[in-house]
Structure 1
Amino acid sequence: MTRLAAVGGLLLGATMVTHAVASEPRAPGAEPLSTAEEPAPAGPGDTLVSRLGTSRTAGSWIAADGRTVVAVTDEKAAAQVRGAGAEPKMVDHSMDDLKSATKRLGSAPRVPGTAWAVDYRTNEVVVRGDRTVSADDWSGLTEVADGIGGFVRMERSEGTFTTRLNGALPILSTAGRCSAGFNVTDGKRDFILTAGHCGPDGSVWFADEQAKEEVGTSVRGSFPGDDYSLIEYTSGRAGEGAGVVAVGEGKGVRITGVADPTVGQRVFRSGSTSGLRDGEVTALNATVNYPEGTVSGLVESNVCAEPGDSGGPMFSEGIALGVTSGGSGDCRTGGTTYFQPVTKALAALDVRLIVAPGDDGVRRSPRPPRRTRRARWRRTRPRRGRRPR
């Protein structure tokens, strides 16, 4: 029986040695995790935002030089941010204003092919419409945006916002193709955490197109609304190497913990179509109106993804951050990719991340997610997606 022993589609029967582990770039600053099951404590920006409140702040992010920046609406708040060692940026609109704007957009008639997210760095709500959105629908949504105020920016996207029903070294079922995200457990049984759009409960997954090597069965999930699901292993257990993300060429990255991402954070995503790609988080709590339904609370990024990468893992410095939901564009022309946050999925499904042991075979408390300045590599972004099969 073939089981998915590691995320990103790595099979127990595939060639993989535990010492062939790829290294991620290191960078300064981050908070430690207390256990493998618990998310990392809030970073300095999140802590300051929580302390000052959403009426006086408008988010935080990591600047290109690695500094923490906090958007504030008054000088007293700015002084408190400076006193905490972070950099304040004075803005006109608080987080309360920005959330009110996204709420009004959400109450408007739903237009498939649109998405919106708060851009902390420009203090705007960015609304995107793909090529499937008609001129009339775009005009109607623009009127809603104009009624909210000048801090709502409208942008057209060349690609199509779509979920991606293909995967990294794929798992296959009658529902389509998807990729394994991260291995998780409830203490009694092990599961694959993947995207919720991959298939309904009861979908049986295989490691081969001939449907001879059964992997498991979808047992719980949420889509639309959210985009996560669990595939229970047929054997009940994930097997050796369950805490390693496959990144190609027989290599992998040890996953040592879970956390919420930060705007400006450098991240990596693994997938069979485009391999290991990097980019950065551009927004949080994004809403995407896919043709199948609306999904909210997503992580927006410019990391490259293409059809064949759906459900795959997003991570940074060995810390699990998200699973691929969908997006638009391709690795040549650019676009946007969205991810389901892992922390929310774990909490909703009442499961824990399976982490990798150290070199001596001992499972350690995870290292903190390290933050870095903006990547120097050429940014590549996701490909024009295909509609689900």
Structure 2
Amino acid sequence: MRRTRLTHAVLAALLVLGGSGAAGAASAAATGATTPAGVTASPGSAAEPASEGVLIAMQRDLGLTRKQAEARIAAERAAAALDPKVRRAAGNAYAGSWFDAAKGRLTVALTPDVPPGARRVIEAAGAETRTAAHTARELDAVKARLDRLPAPSGVSGWHVDPTAGTVVVDVVGKDRSDNDVRRFVSRAREAGPVTVRTVSAAPRTFAAGTVGGDPYYTGNVRCSIGFSVYGGFVTAGHCGSPGAGVSGWDGSYIGTFQGSSFPDNDYAWVSVGSGWWTVPVVLGWGTVPDQLVRGSAVAPVGSSVCRSGSTSHWHCGTVLAINETVNYSQGAVHQLTKTSVCAEPGDSGGSFITGDQAQGVTSGGWGNCAGGGETWFQPVNEILSRYGLTLHTYTG
């Protein structure tokens, strides 16, 4: 059904899986198997740090050589595996963590009262440490207070920035003097350590009207398939409501939205049938080779991340923030991950991946792939947990 041919590796994956199908021709991705509520146990194959498609896109979008891209993926994999361990070791002194691309290692912020033994354990494990004034729990509490405030359209979002030890509030430049914006900022500062940043544009979702391409459609809205799950695929919630029918790029019926949430969240899942099927692959759209997905280990802030969508195809960038509240015109959406990757209308719901690890589905952003911008995704593991789904993976 698909106009983009699958690679030999994907065909091998189909043989291994024995045709246990799901999301078909228009699919923008498929992912690694996890338990319904968690991350896969292994973050991937050490012998093969990423597929050719990821490496090519990272070289193009991040300005890396092939060796640098391979080294960064390996370092990010190590950081992702280390991150939950250092969180436990730091205990109440944990103040955040992120991947330092320049040093190729995880950095962990700790409050001054951290036990010396805990700091030694963290550093011996390979992480760098930094002293911070506020714990991650304190900063999360500040963000939670902001989540309860009504936000005007001139406030585009807010998130905890572990590198600065503060909650960052993004305000659209042209609206900074607006009375409602100034009132929100004033109340935000009263909640705790807050830094205000000026951004050039407000975020928007990336659904689109019916146009050509390689999408899926619900009504006159075009979006991109995210990751394959047993029985269907996951995608963005703003693309359709429960019960809405879905058709593919060729107009044939795919399936039905079984669950959807937007705003507050931006996730959904679609059951598929009628001959449509899924494979554990993210498609390269002819720009880069197709690639296999082996899991869904969460990449720390600072990690590289690439996106596949039906409009702008392959683009890469870095993870800028996690657990950000984004204030769309339709309402606030919580717990999104912010990236420097561009996207365009029709890319909504498409897949974000780091190395061979699924990260999430495209929610929205600002800008485009000609002039650049920022994009947010809904973490895939949250979707799995919410609907009790299991992702497909390639284990060969």
| Same-fold call, TM cutoff 0.5 | yes
Pairwise CA distance, 1:31: 6.2
Name the aligned partner's letter for residue 122 of structure 2: V
Q: Which of 143, 148, 160 is equivalent to 1:102?
A: 143
Pairwise CA distance, 1:159: 1.8
Stretch deviating more after TM superposition (162-171 or 172-181): 162-171
Pairwise CA distance, 1:96: 2.1
Match of 1:315 in 2: 353
Distance 1:164 1:23 in 2: 22
Where do residues 208-247 of structure 1 align in structure 2 (5 Å cutoff)? 208=249, 212-235=251-274, 238-239=277-278, 242-247=279-284
1:58 partnered with 2:95: yes
- Secondary structure of 1:46's counterpart equals helix
Match of 2:197 in 1: 155
Pairwise CA distance, 1:285: 0.8
Name the aligned partner's letter for residue 262 of structure 1: P
1:93 partnered with 2:130: no
Pairwise CA distance, 1:202: 1.4
Distance 1:344 1:300 in 2: 15
Distance 2:127 2:300 in 1: 15
Pairwise CA distance, 1:248: 1.8
Pairwise CA distance, 1:133: 5.1
Check 1:92–1:23 CA distance in 2 against 1; reply closer, same or farther (3 A cut).
Answer: closer
Structure 1 length normalisation: TM-score?
0.78
- Secondary structure of 1:248's counterpart equals coil
Match of 2:66 in 1: none
Pairwise CA distance, 1:87: 0.7
- Secondary structure of 1:257's counterpart equals coil
Matched residue count: 331
Where do residues 178-189 of structure 1 align in structure 2 (5 Å cutoff)? 178-185=223-230
Match of 1:207 in 2: 248
Q: Which of 172, 178, 183 is equivalent to 1:130?
A: 172
Distance 1:51 1:236 in 2: 49
Residue-by-residue CA offset, 1:59-101 (whole Å, 9 max, x unaligned): 1111122111100112635444223331101111111221121
Q: Is the 8 A contact 1:166 1:308 kept in 2?
A: yes
* Structure with more of its chain in helix, by fraction: 2
Structure 2 length normalisation: TM-score?
0.76
Q: Is the 8 A contact 1:26 1:317 kept in 2?
A: no
Q: How well do the aligned residues superpose, as a CA RMSD in angstroms?
A: 2.7
User: Which structure 2 residue ranges, 5 or more long, are not aligned?
Assistant: 3-22, 31-50, 56-68
Distance 1:66 1:118 in 2: 22
Where do residues 252-271 of structure 1 align in structure 2 (5 Å cutoff)? 252-271=290-309
Match of 1:4 in 2: 24
Name the aligned partner's letter for residue 82 of structure 1: E
- Secondary structure of 1:109's counterpart equals coil
Distance 2:220 2:299 in 1: 30
Pairwise CA distance, 1:184: 0.4
Match of 1:166 in 2: 208
Q: Is the 8 A contact 1:78 1:90 kept in 2?
A: no
Pairwise CA distance, 1:21: 6.1
Distance 1:107 1:273 in 2: 35
User: Which structure 1 residue ranges, 5 or more long, are not aligned?
Assistant: 11-19, 33-40, 357-362, 365-389
Where do residues 377-388 of structure 1 align in structure 2 (5 Å cutoff)? none
Residue-by-residue CA offset, 1:96-144 (whole Å, 9 max, x unaligned): 2211210221122233452111111111211112368571121011101
Pairwise CA distance, 1:280: 0.7
Pairwise CA distance, 1:175: 5.5
Residue-by-residue CA offset, 1:297-329 (whole Å, 9 max, x unaligned): 111111121222111000022211110011112
Residue-by-residue CA offset, 1:365-388 (whole Å, 9 max, x unaligned): xxxxxxxxxxxxxxxxxxxxxxxx
Pairwise CA distance, 1:341: 0.5
Residue-by-residue CA offset, 1:23-73 (whole Å, 9 max, x unaligned): 5342324669xxxxxxxx9621331122322x3121111112211110011
Pairwise CA distance, 1:345: 0.6
Match of 2:366 in 1: 328
Q: Which of 176, 180, 185 is equivalent to 1:142?
A: 185
Name the aligned partner's letter for residue 248 of structure 1: W
1:177 partnered with 2:222: yes
